[in-house]
Amino acid sequence: MLTAGQVHDSHGARELLIDLDNGTIVLGDKAYDADWIRAQIKEQGAVANIPNKANRTHRYRWKKALYRERNLIERFFNRIKHYRRVATRYEKLGANFL
């Protein structure tokens, strides 16, 4: 799924979090700490492991050890950014990226 560069990542979360299996653990960073995202995950029987934003009044529990696993995804995106074609965004159309 592609969105515009200036769009916040959470706007694509609704579509990406469809059809989660029961018991799935969803790892996300603080940007995904929204009540509607947590509710969508919980409705499907999955578990959200998302740290709380600093301004959240109701704090949720999350496991730091599990959260560290998302560094694999972060390292993947860092690695593909080393390729000139991705880093300089020669492909201007979404169809080319897909």
Which domain covers residue 49, as residue numbers? 9-97
Residue 59 lies in a domain: yes
Residue 79 lies in a domain: yes
Residue 4 has pLDDT above 80, yes or no: no
Q: For residues 11 and 48, which has the higher predicted lDDT (pLDDT)? A: 48
Beta-carbon contacts of residue 37 (< 8 Å; ≥ 6 apart): 10, 13, 17, 28, 48, 50
Residue 61 lies in a domain: yes
pLDDT tens column, 61-97: 998 888 888 888 888 888 888 877 766 766 677 777 6
Q: What are phi and psi of 4, to 5 degrees?
A: -65, 155
Residue 68 lies in a domain: yes
Question: What pLDDT, on the 0 to 100 scale, is given for residue 83?
Answer: 78
Residue 20 lies in a domain: yes
Q: Total domain count for the chain?
A: 1
Question: What pLDDT, on the 0 to 100 scale, is given for residue 97?
Answer: 66
Residue 19 lies in a domain: yes
Question: What pLDDT, on the 0 to 100 scale, is given for residue 59?
Answer: 92
Question: What pLDDT, on the 0 to 100 scale, is given for residue 84?
Answer: 76
